[in-house]
């Protein structure tokens, strides 16, 4: 699985929506798929999935706006 697929699967579990699996550019906050609590839950899920830490200080609304952008953040973190 690619980073994007793994990130999208985590978001789908948290949001309860498969939209993120179909559209990696869907805006998570504008559509209401994620809120602040969902974002914290996602950070924890990504820590478990990828074995790397994320903190609220890592959160940038623009970088965390879509599944595709989050996958880029994760890839950068893993380098």
How many separate domains does the chain show?
Answer: 1
| Statement: residue 59 has pLDDT above 90 | no
**Rounded Cα–Cα distance for residues 12 and 19 (Å):** 8
Assign residue 41 the CATH number of its domain: 1.10.1200.10
Question: Which among 15, 8, 7 has a CA at the least distance from the CA of 31?
Answer: 15
| Statement: residue 73 has pLDDT above 90 | yes
| Domain span holding position 25 | 3-78
Q: On the CB side of 33, how many CA atoms lie within 13 Å of its CA?
A: 26
| Statement: residue 23 has pLDDT above 90 | yes
């Amino acid at each position: 699985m690619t980073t994007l697929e793994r990130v999208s699967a985590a978001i789908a579990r948290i949001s309860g929506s498969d939209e993120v699996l179909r559209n990696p550019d869907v805006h998570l906050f504008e559509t209401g798929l994620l809120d602040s609590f969902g974002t914290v839950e996602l950070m924890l899920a990504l820590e478990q999935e990828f074995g790397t830490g994320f903190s609220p200080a890592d959160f940038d609304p623009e970088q965390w706006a879509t599944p595709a952008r989050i996958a880029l953040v994760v890839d950068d973190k893993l380098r």
